[in-house]
């Protein structure tokens, strides 16, 4: 019998007794803290909460959560989550992955879980480097990355995680920065509320192998100029003086940064964020500094049926229509004969 705890859970209730073993200063600590702080606010039950990961630094995450957790094999976390959800759709599943686990070895599974819209939350820790194997370049590393396996610099073009997700048909795509606790927490809350696959890319600093990979837009001093925080239904404004905005460049399917008050630009000229506008979300996700700010928050949110609702709905309908299966009857259907 499940006994629902009446006392309000706290961050401590979600913290396991295992010693956290990430490097000092790792962005993973901040994400762990944000998740542990957010869960009690969601009213979830510990016994129904599950963290599933693949392999990599970030994939140690489940060991530090006092919930159910499964540290699986490299790249395959989405598939274990799929089977688990089909076994018990009541479970509330969080999947932890990284740029290597999710976009390299596990790229295929990530694509398919996104297009299926299985109801779970995916946090992809993007540090643009392989940490656990000691510093090789990753599929999100920028061209020219010097690493033990690329002493003359990496030559392959990086993948854009949110672009990949949207291309795969993701219905919920968001982005946050590891140390921006407040906004990361808000994204976690939104993701949890979405019934389907909610994909979150979190920019996570690896102080050992790729320190400062994101400083061009995460430095607090310049953040207001380099970050655009999206809000559904609100005009896209940023800048220290809140005087910069985004609009569609006239005559082109491109964004451009404009300054309010210059050349007669007013707030009415700016784009208004619409989470259901997929082409817009794609343009926003592709913005790169220094020409553009980096778009953060919920880029896309298009509610749809979840995978497990559809799969298990068919099972239910089959039972309603045909009645609960009778194996003896099934095996005696068709051509049978009796030997006496």
By CB under 8 A, name the binding residues for other proteins: 2-3, 16, 18, 45-48, 50, 52, 55, 62-63, 65-73, 76, 78-88, 90-91, 108-109, 111-112, 311-312, 314-315, 318-319, 321-325, 327-328, 330-332, 334-340
The three state secondary structure string of 27-41 is HHHHHHHHHHHHHHH
Kindly report the CA angle at 60 between 59 and 63, in degrees rounded to 5? 130
Of 76 and 229, the one with the shorter C-beta distance to other proteins is 76
Q: What is the closest distance, in whole angstroms, from the C-beta atom of residue 69 to other proteins in the complex? A: 4
Nearer to other proteins, 3 or 254 (CB): 3
Nearer to other proteins, 67 or 141 (CB): 67
Look at strands 49-53 and 172-177 and give their pairing.
Answer: unpaired
We find the least distance from the C-beta atom of residue 194 to other proteins, in angstroms, to be 21
Q: How far is the CB of 64 from other proteins (least distance, A)?
A: 9
* Residue placing its CB nearer to other proteins in the complex, 45 or 195: 45
Closest CA to 163 of 290, 281, 302: 281
Smallest gap, in angstroms, from Cβ of residue 239 to other proteins?
A: 43
289 Cα distance to chain centroid = 21
Distance CA 146, CA 161 (A): 21
Tell the residue number behind the tokens 């946050």, with chain if given.
176
Q: Which is nearer to other proteins, 157 or 314 (CB)?
A: 314
Measured from the Cβ of residue 338, the count of other Cβ atoms closer than 10 Å reads: 4
- Spatial CB neighbours of 21, under 8 Å, sequence gap ≥ 6: 60
CA dihedral 307, 273, 190, 293 (to 10 degrees): 110
Burial of residue 3, with CB atoms counted within 10 A of its CB: 0-12 exposed, 13-18 middle, 19 or more buried: exposed
CB of 132 to other proteins, least distance (A): 12
Residue with Cβ nearer other proteins (78 or 196): 78
Q: Write down the least CB distance from residue 66 to other proteins, Å.
A: 6
Among 295, 84, 286, 71, residue whose Cα is nearest residue 165: 286
């Amino acid at each position: 019998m499940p006994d629902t705890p009446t006392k309000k859970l706290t961050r401590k209730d979600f913290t396991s007794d295992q010693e956290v073993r990430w490097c000092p200063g790792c962005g993973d600590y901040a994400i762990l803290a944000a998740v542990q702080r957010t869960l009690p606010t969601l009213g979830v039950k510990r016994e129904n909460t599950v963290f599933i990961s693949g392999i990599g630094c970030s994939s140690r995450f489940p060991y530090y959560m006092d919930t159910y957790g499964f540290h699986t094999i490299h790249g395959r976390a989405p598939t274990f989550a799929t089977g688990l959800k089909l076994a018990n759709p009541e479970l509330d599943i969080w999947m932890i992955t990284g740029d290597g686990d999710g976009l390299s070895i596990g790229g295929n599974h990530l694509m398919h879980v996104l297009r299926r819209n299985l109801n779970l939350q995916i946090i992809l820790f993007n540090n643009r480097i392989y940490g656990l194997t000691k510093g090789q370049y990753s599929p999100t590393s920028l061209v020219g990355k010097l690493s033990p396996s690329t002493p003359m610099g990496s030559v392959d073009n990086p993948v854009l995680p949110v672009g990949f997700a949207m291309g795969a048909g993701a219905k919920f795509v968001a982005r946050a920065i590891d140390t921006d606790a407040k906004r990361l927490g808000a994204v976690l809350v939104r993701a949890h509320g979405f019934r389907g696959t909610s994909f979150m890319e979190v920019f996570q600093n690896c102080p050992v192998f790729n320190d400062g990979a994101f400083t061009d837009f995460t430095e607090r001093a310049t953040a207001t100029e380099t970050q655009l925080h999206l809000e559904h239904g609100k005009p896209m404004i940023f800048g220290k003086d809140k005087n910069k905005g985004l609009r569609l460049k006239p005559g082109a399917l491109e964004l451009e940064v404009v300054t309010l008050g210059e050349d007669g630009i007013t707030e009415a000229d700016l784009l208004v964020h619409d989470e259901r506008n997929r082409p817009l979300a794609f343009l926003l996700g592709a913005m790169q500094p220094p020409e553009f700010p980096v778009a953060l928050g919920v880029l896309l949110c298009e509610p749809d049926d979840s995978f497990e609702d559809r799969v298990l709905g068919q099972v239910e309908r089959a039972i309603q229509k045909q009645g609960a299966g009778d194996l003896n009857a099934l095996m005696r259907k068709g051509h049978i004969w009796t030997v006496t």
